[in-house]
Amino acid sequence: MKSKKIRRERIFVLGLVFSLLFSVLVGRLIYLMVIKSSNYKTLASQQWTKTLAISPKRGAILDRNGFELAQSMNVYRVDADLSVLKKYLVDKKISEELAVDKLSKMLNVDNKQVKKILDSQDTKGKPLQFVSLKRKVQKGAVDSIKSLKYSGIIISTDVMRVYPNDSFLSHVVGHTNSGENGINGVELSYNNELKGIPGLKVVQMDRSSNELPYTEAVTVKPVEGKDVTLTIDERIQELVERVAKETVTENRAKSVSITVMNPNNGEVLAMANAPSYNLNKPYEEGKTDEEIQEIWKNGVISNVFEPGSIFKVIVAAAALKNNVVSDKDRFVSNGSIKIGNKILYNDNKENNGIQTFSDIMKTSDNVAFIQLGQKIGKSNLYKFAKESGFGQKTGIDLPGESLGLMKLLNTITPLDLATMSYGQGVAVTQIQYIAAFNAVANGGKWIRPHVMKEISHLEESKKVVDKQFNNIDEKTIMSKEDAAQLRTYLERVVKEGTAVSTYMEGYHIAGKTGTANKVNTINGGYDSGKYVSSFVGMVPADNPKVTLMVTVEEPDSSKYYAAQTAVPAAHKLFSELFAILNIPPDKTSDTKKN
């Protein structure tokens, strides 16, 4: 009887124990399957799925006639699941050194870099699971990687930016970084329009991190970038680049910048700097970061220089606007003039005697222009210069534009007014000056220069224009009559004056030369023996269709005048531009006066 009671008690205890164990097990299952299920599902999903970014195809950059300047091509990216890859190497008894050597050769990446990637760790010192070995890999290299049959190597699609013409229009087009984002030029200015929107692809993977066949991937399609069509004319650009390179060589110059524009709408038809750089290989070996940045810089919009005598066009326009001069006025120049305690001279101290307003433009007489500046007065000259855009950015749709330099009105002394009247003591950029010069050409209107013509995309193979450039900020800064009068004076400069080498029989060319000492931007003052020579011009003078500007920085000091450097370059440009733009000669044109 007693033994039965003990047996029942044991059975009860065992039952109770088993009940408790069962309750704990059920509770644990409920905890794992209900409370923690989402966490474990996520962990499981991470092990057998991978989310891959799908790079959008970047929009093309085109010239005004559809000539491709930048495009994107389909390539591949090679990533690695480190845990799977390293386990595979151990299982197959492949040394990591051998794998690194093979991968580095096939991907054309330094051994040390591949080794560093395979040993990647997070901020807490834990090994990373997924790493990128290389982006923008060509098909041949990918085929070689596939032949290794390494588990853990993941290959997916990618895009690569290419520039079909290497250095052509390099400072305007710009280039992208490894992440397909623009870092200068149009690539940067219009990066948001060009880059598109990335897509996503979630794929199922086997234990070797290979995509499983016959499984449906969840995909968010990328949105392709839009195309940017420029105002640039490829034929004119080719001419400008050729002449810029020749001018650098012929004059042993540090650099040459050339811009050609349509003065009536602000469109830049060509813009070049020599030397330039290869857009497909922007990082030159042996160059410091500072030197590379200098090579990338667009001198047309970034380089600041004293304009010299080309600024006399602006001074003359200010005089006409303020009604302080007419053809009846006479200027007497014996080669020098005293301002305060300082004597200022004509360039070669030439005595030009009694001259008309038109004469002083032709002879580019400093002394006469000092007298003209005094007639205008510092307030009026300063006001007109500001209205013409000096001392401020034009707002051209390219990055890196400089402000130029103008003294504050209340700091301008009589000596400052005198030197400013012949182009010293004020600093400009080429784009800043030609924008003001365009107002003389188009009848008095300042118009913002720009390189974008339109932005578009394709829908069912049909072009859809999303936007056209309309931010021209047009404003009248002089009358049509004053602009026309000034053009006749500038045509005389080409026929009889300092730009006579630009003259071509049958064509009405108007222009102005300028030569100035180069300012030392670090120490102030002028660099001995260093000059900046310029020419600005327009054709036809009576109704200009095109303007151009040539700036030669630090030409050979033995022949540095604009007439010897910039003018010959302009002559080459005009001689071919007439054919490209279909501008016929005027058979009734006056012959050149001697």
Encode pLDDT of 154-212 as tens digits: 888 888 899 999 999 999 999 999 888 999 999 999 999 999 888 876 665 555 555 54
* pLDDT greater than 70 at residue 94: yes
Q: How far apart are CA 349 and CA 69, in angstroms?
A: 50
Contact status, residue 431 vs residue 272, Cβ threshold 8 Å: no
Which one of 71-85, 125-139, 199-213, 425-439 scores highest in mean pLDDT?
425-439
Asked whether the bond before 585 is cis by omega within 30 degrees of 0, the reply is no
- The b-or-e profile of 523-546 (16+ CB within 10 A means b, else e) is eeeeeeebbbbbbbbbbbbeebeb
With tokens 């990066």, the residue in question is: 191
Angle at which helices 430-442 and 480-496 cross, to 10°: 110
Tens digit of pLDDT for each residue in 337-393? 999 999 999 988 999 999 999 999 999 999 999 999 999 999 999 999 999 999 999
pLDDT of residue 157: 80
Distance CA 7, CA 53 (A): 68
Per the omega criterion (within 30 degrees of 0), is the bond before 282 cis? no
pLDDT score recorded for residue 380: 98
- C-alpha span between 328 and 289 (Å, rounded): 58
Residue with the two structure tokens 């300082």: 342
Buried b (16+ CB within 10 A) or exposed e, 45-73: eeeeebebebbbbbbbbbbbeebebbbbe
E strand map for 401-523: 445-446, 452-459, 462-468, 475-476, 510-519
Query: Can you list the positions of beta strands (E) in 346-444?
Result: 353-355
Residue type, 26: V
pLDDT at 4: 64
For residues 169 and 260, the answer to whether their CB atoms sit within 8 Å is no
Write a three-state SS string for 466-490: EEECCCCCCEECCCHHHHHHHHHHH
Per-residue pLDDT at 43: 45
Backbone dihedral angles phi then psi of residue 545, each to the nearest 5 degrees: -105, -20
Q: Is 338 helix (H, G, I), strand (E, B) or coil?
A: strand
Residue 94: phi and psi, rounded to 5, are: -105, 125
State yes or no: pLDDT of 13 exceeds 70: no
Residue among 386, 320, 384 at smallest CA distance from 357: 320
| Residue closest to 312 by CA, chosen among 376, 237, 225 | 376
In this model, does residue 304 exceed pLDDT 60? yes
pLDDT for the residue 213: 47
CA 481/CA 317 separation, integer angstroms: 11
Q: Considering the chain, what is the average pLDDT of its residues?
A: 88
Q: Sort 20 into a burial class: Cβ within 10 Å, 0-12 / 13-18 / 19+.
A: exposed
Tell me the pLDDT tens digit for each residue of 560-587: 999 999 999 999 999 999 999 998 888 6
d(CA 56, CA 69): 19
- The pLDDT value recorded for residue 12 is 67
Backbone φ and ψ of 98, nearest 5°: -65, -40
Is pLDDT above 80 for 222?
A: yes
pLDDT tens-digit profile of 416-439? 999 999 999 999 999 999 999 999
Numbers of helices and strands, H then E, in the chain: 20, 21
Residues 299 and 552: beta-carbon distance below 8 Å? no
Q: Which tokens is 108 given?
A: 């054309």
- Average of pLDDT values for 104-122? 87
> Any idea what DSSP says for residue 224?
P
What is the residue-wise DSSP string for 530-585? EEEEEEEEEESTTS-SEEEEEEEES--TTS-STTTTHHHHHHHHHHHHHHHTT---
pLDDT at position 96, please?
84
Residue range 541-549: average pLDDT? 96
Which of 50-54, 363-367, 424-428, 468-472 is the least confident region? 50-54
Residue 120 has pLDDT above 90, yes or no: no
Q: Which of 229, 393, 170, 236 is nearest to 301 (CA)?
A: 393
Maximum separation of any 2 CA atoms in the chain, in Å = 149
The pair of three-digit structure tokens given for residue 524, joined into one six-digit string: 């102030």
Choose between 83 and 388: higher pLDDT. Answer: 388
The pLDDT of residue 216: 47
Alpha carbon distance 360, 543 (integer Å): 23
Residue 4, both tokens? 């039965």
> In the predicted model, what is the mean pLDDT of residues 316-334?
95
574, amino acid identity: F
> Which ranges constitute the DSSP H helices of 130-233?
139-148, 170-173, 185-189, 191-195
* pLDDT score for 27: 63
| Structural contact between residues 73 and 111, judged by C-beta atoms closer than 8 angstroms | no
pLDDT band at 471 (very low <50, low <70, confident <90, very high): very high
